[in-house]
Structure 1
């Protein structure tokens, strides 16, 4: 039986009722749903602004940006419901005259920018409490006033390009400022009073191009700021900064026409970088009496500055001092307490400067540049200068000699160029070493002699050119530098200084000459035979242990000797060999002599065996990449013999992650184990090597240890007299990025009992040319610390031929001349190099002591590249190594992948920890793309600072140890 449609009765259930009421809600109140905020707002017309309340009636808190750009927009009255904006607020409508519709707005998390409008004021922002990175008001041609920002507590404020502006407005609640930048060239505003009455700290404070501003009064509560720039104002001093104590970055005072001195900041104690430039009435540093630290001080182009004698006594400039182009300055008196350690001094182009008095406390700066001071009479103000890396003296026309530098003992580079009246180099008599450096003497019109130049042990390069009167170059320091094969360019001088050969010929008739070779002599017969070898880079020392000479690549040494002296020296012994004779004594008198054939033979103490092996990395291990190792070995026995070289890997990195891709002729004897057999291998042949290539799987965890171990085992039943160099393990942390110029030590810890006796330490210095062209010269300079016994130094292996030199106080230099090291972009595998050496620690080190050592690397004549510190610490007891190293924590990246801002969370770190950490981000090629200091356990980053693709995130503590890591993907 069928039913009519109209007779069908509905069957109501709970689900039916719920669906009915949801439909009724949607029909009756569409605005509630439609009122949810969109991800962003972009207003191109007044109609779109006016439609906002109806389109989004419930939208109060935007999560994304808001842009007001339409040309016909004249007001924002319809935006009164907006309370917060999670992104930026950008207002650039040229006909906009009223923003009072923003009166409900309390927070903008991104930047706030109002530019190119027709606004006469900023009424409507009175309830704004905070902004994000910046608040800028720029190029609003009709702006007369801003407003009273009564609620603003955390924000910056920047205003510029508003020629009709009559006041800055008021910020009565602002205590913590971000970037505050007031710049208005045509403004008549003359005061800051009432503008920032409660401002205590700011990131940046810029007051620029406000010529009518007469005082800083109004900043009375400001006590700390990262940086200040005051440029082209009318201030006469710093009155108004009565509570300012710390400027953590820079303080620039530029082109202030009325600035006389720096009074008005009585409690200021720290300024990192103080620059006082082009202030025509500036007369001195009065006002800085309370300052305890200035990292960099620049006083430049202040045309009426006559003296610093009445200035405050700056107690410590730790980085640099620059005083240049002050045309009326006559002296530097007033700077007597300056103490520059490892920084630079530049005194340049001061037309009337007569003396350097005032620099009497300068002892160990990094660089000193005295150039272009035409009336400077002497260098007496530098009478305490003892060491310097680079000393540049140029264009000081009144100098006749270098008197005043009598305390200078050590220098790496000396330039004496372009002097009109300089006649000699007297003043440098006490110079002991050039730290394997460079001497330039160029274009000195009156220079006739190099007399006065002290010892140049370690000199590597000499450039003496275009000195038209220079005829006396054969001084003892120059002669010894040439004898030690310093690389000279000597030309276009007077006869006597035309060529190196001419100078050396004169040296032969001016000084006693000493020369010889160091020979490995297994037969002990003193005759060079088929088994004999000349020993390169063998050190000779005085009998009291001071360095005396070093053999070249062919085992030869030479030097010149002064008259009426006694010289006692010996060749270093090597394990199992003793020098014959034990030492050589040379006495000189008034009669010149040639002491050639002063040879040493190293004879075996017995028919012993002694093998040596080492392994050096070329790069650090990275997941998915191939890593190279160089294995070098040598038979240092008294006879030829057989041995096996074995490479294996300790099991910190699982074998499944490791693949040996190239073994250079070796035989696989087990999982990731290689053996090379050496048969009847000759003694002391040039160190031989194997190259091994290893690839890590892309899934290899970051932070674990890869530990290649190499051993050299003599044939059965053969005892090695020194097993300490028969095995080497090279612990390496698997990383995502690395610095190719570094230093490594094989012992990071010594137990107290071992340290009390002294212990061998093996060091590796790696370098890579990351420039844009091949490097012709590479120099490594290593200043050994006082805990290392320089007399035990032994060079081991290196990637290229080199020349080794040294100074008496433990400064080593390896010079790779004509190395032609390719740049990494054109030939990455061949762009690397390294040296290894070993040295013993002095006995008597105590628990808590540490041996910190690093090296400087010079590519051609570019600035030094400093390595990390290789540190060995003395412990009460060294803990036994665990089977597995501690694996770093895993960072959390939210979201991941990310396309805009994202969060990083650090497990295991307290939320309010004050520990300063460093976050490093690199791409998969190892290129560092971001580095910043962070605190706490959660912080936010912006995607726009990072390239797209897979990225590696590292978190390190203050010592550089890795705390946590992660991988993230930027879209």
Structure 2
């Protein structure tokens, strides 16, 4: 008989009710001491102080049904700050799934007190298994371990474009399901036209719909679904998509996956899409870069041509609503050629023969060069300032994370709160470094979940220790000059305390309004006019952007509170605009005269 939701699957001898239970667990190496602990509760106690890693393996147990299982553990680590690894292994001692947990000191308590931790094992097949625990040089006790059947609600379907009778299976197309009782939403993306939601064991009325950026016609426009307590699978929730744009309408956007640092490589992703209802012919994409500051290294799609400062790719048969991408790497030159605060400018275009909306054909990215950096951060691609003309347009956000621990991170959760000045209904997940699921609760509480990401630690494999997220969302049309959009993220690596990123502020400013009087003492600068060096005095940590009169961004950098000397000697003589934003979102604008 198949297991039902919530049914416990016992792990033999895991209650440690007697000392004999300890003998049924395998301890390696044999120099490690294991004993029965009965100080307030009954537990397996392992003294591994002064030794390398030790492993503790349970007796064999049987899982009679394939599916999802939740591991519940009651454990403690006498000395804190060390990581223990918990694995489900099969009959060949192959790890099916694992998690790394920095366990905490505490007193041992008997079941059925609340469990210390849970881990979902997905798509487990019926068979024989063991629980294996690896502990570092420390003292450890395990008071209980059990598996519980976990039956998520599976909602799936397909997305076809152009014509359902002649399907074009879309990749990476975002889908959304909303719980109508509390308006919480879950997001996923298609793989070869198919999508799947794995929902918690919940019931109620739900709404499934494609994420519509305004140019789609979906048939049906949405699907109402009632999820009950007895049915686990809801299949064949299919949509046929067409574009309400007549002809070809392609767009391209370049985003930075990493920060740009002098002497290091920097990675980028070029995302392009056909918003129209006609398949493209043989077309091209041109990307220009500043060859005085960087050199092109490689790309995931081989360019058709590369010059000293430009790259060209050809593409063909980009079908209606299809999304493709190209990843690429550049090497940033070392100082004094490239210094912190300078701007890397990318321009380019995507060129169909005839395009419905040429305004989205241009590629523009201005990225500041930095030195030391926090590997966990938030960035708005549009920068820390936008103009009133950009209000209501899309803002693209990037969240980066890195596992700087001492073991791989099995599960990672990223949480952020969408600012009140953003239009929450326009949220759209774009891309990420690893497979993920996304959810929104309470209107604006956004969560990305990376189950079984197994992200390497930076000591073992630094390049593989990084991850990132991109999403976009429109600013509210009611936002006005002086309003700002704030973004901060909390990143959870397994069961550790969260790492909180920087807070990134993007302020709406009017470039035609220049006020030389600092607002609330945000910034003062002298001498002005300036010949070589200008001193900027700030009350708080501040970022600044330097523009020429055409509006071109020339420099971006951050300043600490107090006096900061900035070198302007390389600028041509003339008038420039300096705009600053402090850590509280207060901004000011100054004219600078360069002699």
Structure-2-length-normalised TM-score? 0.58
* Equivalence for 1:787: 421
Q: 1:707 to 1:850 in 2, by over 3 A?
A: same
- Is the alpha carbon distance of 1:635 and 1:547 closer, same or farther for their aligned partners in structure 2, counting shifts above 3 Å? farther
Aligned counterparts of 2:512 and 2:500: Cα–Cα separation in 1: 29
For 1:731, what is the secondary structure of its paired residue? Answer: strand
Contact 1:550 1:804 in 2 (8 A): yes
The correspondence of residues 61-80 of structure 1 with structure 2, limited to 5 A, is none
Q: Could you tell me which residue of structure 1 aligns to residue 164 of structure 2?
A: 524
After superposition, residues 714-733 of structure 1 pair within 5 angstroms as 715-720=352-357, 723-724=359-360, 726-733=361-368
Distance 1:915 1:789, change over 3 A: closer
Aligned to 1:578: 217
Cα pair distance change 1:934/1:736, threshold 3 Å: same
SS of alignment partner, residue 703 of structure 1: coil
Corresponding position of 2:256? 617
Aligned-pair CA distance for 1:490: 13
Aligned partner of 1:765 in structure 2 is 399
Which secondary structure does the structure 1 equivalent of 2:292 belong to? helix
1:737 paired residue number: 372
Which one scores higher on RCO, CA 8 angstroms, separation ≥ 6? Answer: 2
Query: Would you say 1:774 and 2:397 are equivalent positions?
Result: no
Q: 1:679 aligns with which of 301, 316, 328?
A: 316
Q: Deviations over 1:907-965 (max 9, x none)?
A: 636xxx794669xxxxxxxxxxxxx9875689xxxxxxxxxxxxxxxxx996499xxxx
Task: Pick closer, same or farther for the CA change 1:446–1:793 going to 2, 3 Å.
Answer: same
Tell me by how many angstroms 1:541 deviates: 3.0
Show the counterpart of 1:599.
Answer: 237
Residue 840 of structure 1, CA deviation = 0.8
Deviations 1:354-387 (A, max 9, x none): xxxxxxxxxxxxxxxxxxxx9xxxxxxxxxxxxx
Give the drift of 1:809: 2.7
Corresponding residue SS for 1:675: strand
Aligned partners of 1:535 and 1:690: how far apart in 2?
Answer: 15
Q: Given the alignment, which residue of 469, 474, 481 partners 1:847? A: 481
2:160–2:239 CA contact under 8 A, matched in 1 = yes
Asked if the contact 1:789/1:839 (under 8 Å) is kept, the reply is: yes
| Count of residues in correspondence between the two structures | 421
Larger radius of gyration: 1
Cα gap change, 1:708/1:817 in structure 2, threshold over 3 Å: closer, same or farther?
Answer: farther
The 8 Å contact of residues 155 and 197 in structure 2, kept in 1 or not, is answered as yes
Correspondences of 1:277-356 after superposition (within 5 Å): none
SS in 1 for 2:316: strand
Distance 2:287 2:273 in 1: 16
Task: Note if contact 1:514-1:560 (Cα within 8 Å) is conserved in structure 2.
Answer: no
Contact kept, 8 Å, 2:269 with 2:325, in 1: the verdict is no
**Residue number in structure 2 paired with 1:908:** 535
For residue 827 of structure 1, report the CA deviation from its aligned partner.
3.6
Q: CA deviation at 1:611?
A: 3.4
- Does the aligned pair in 2 maintain the 1:751–1:874 contact within 8 Å? yes
SS in 2 for 1:573: coil
8 Å Cα contact 2:298-2:330 kept in structure 1: yes
Name the residue aligned to 1:515: 155
The 5-angstrom pairing of residues 2-17 of structure 1 reads none
The verdict on how the C-alpha distance between 1:574 and 1:847 changes in structure 2, with shifts beyond 3 A counting, is: closer
Hey, what's the Cα distance between the residues in 2 that align with 1:769 and 1:568? 36
The offset of 1:560, in angstroms, is 7.5
SS state at 2:464 partner: coil
CA offset at residue 602 of structure 1? 3.5
CA deviation vs aligned residue, 1:570-602 (integer Å, no higher than 9, x gap): 44334532222233345689x966783461403
SS in 1 for 2:317: strand
Q: What is the match of residue 435 of structure 1? A: none
Answer 1 or 2: which has greater helix percent: 1
- Give the alignment of 1:863-882 within 5 angstroms: 863-877=497-511
> Shift in Å at residue 631 of structure 1?
2.8
| CA deviation after TM superposition for structure 1 residue 555, in Å | 0.3
- Indicate the residue corresponding to 1:646 in structure 2: 286
SS for the counterpart of 1:830 is: helix
Look up the match of 2:471.
837
Pick closer, same or farther for the CA change 1:818–1:685 going to 2, 3 Å. farther
Q: Which residue of 2 aligns with 1:630?
A: 269
Q: Which residue of 1 aligns with 2:343?
A: 705
| CA deviation vs aligned residue, 1:399-437 (integer Å, no higher than 9, x gap) | xxxxxxxxxxxxxxxx99699xxxxxxxxxxxxxxxxxx
Change (3 A) 1:490 1:614: farther
CA distance in 1, matches of 2:233, 2:452: 31
Alignment of 1:165-184 (within 5 A): none
For the Cα contact (< 8 Å) 2:185–2:439, is it kept in 1?
no
The CA distance in 2 between the partners of 1:934 and 1:582, in whole Å, is 53
Map Cα deviations across residues 731-773 of structure 1 (whole Å, 9 max, x no partner): 2222332222222113333334553xx2211111222333344
Q: Distance in 1 between matches of 2:398 and 2:366?
A: 12
Q: What is the CA-CA distance between 1:603 and the residue it aligns to?
A: 1.9
Query: Relative to total residues, which structure has the larger strand share, 1 or 2?
Result: 2
Q: 1:443 to 1:569 in 2, by over 3 A?
A: farther
Q: Displacement of 1:686 after TM fit? A: 7.1
CA–CA distance in structure 2, aligned partners of residues 917 and 551 of structure 1: 38
C-alpha displacement at 1:498, in angstroms?
6.5
CA distance in 2, matches of 1:499, 1:569: 32
Unaligned 5+ segments in structure 1 are 1-373, 375-414, 420-437, 451-460, 465-480, 484-488, 492-496, 508-512, 881-887, 891-905, 919-931, 939-955, 962-971
Could you tell me how far 1:838 is from its partner in structure 2?
0.7
Superposed, which structure 2 residues align to 1:391-540 within 5 Å?
A: 445=110, 447=112, 462-463=118-119, 499-500=147-148, 502-504=149-151, 515-525=155-165, 531-533=168-170, 537-540=174-177
Deviation at 1:873, TM superposition (A): 1.1
CA RMSD, Structure 1 to Structure 2 (Å):
4.9
Matches within 5 A, 1:22-61: none
2:294 aligns with: 658
Distance 1:717 1:822, change over 3 A: same
* Gapped regions of structure 2 (runs ≥ 5): 1-39, 41-71, 77-100, 124-128, 132-144, 515-523, 527-532, 543-558, 566-579, 586-595
Instruction: Work out the CA distance in 2 between the residues paired with 1:586 and 1:572.
Output: 17
Which residues of 2 match residues 536-547 of structure 1 at below 5 A? 537-541=174-178, 546-547=183-184
SS of residue paired to 2:425: helix
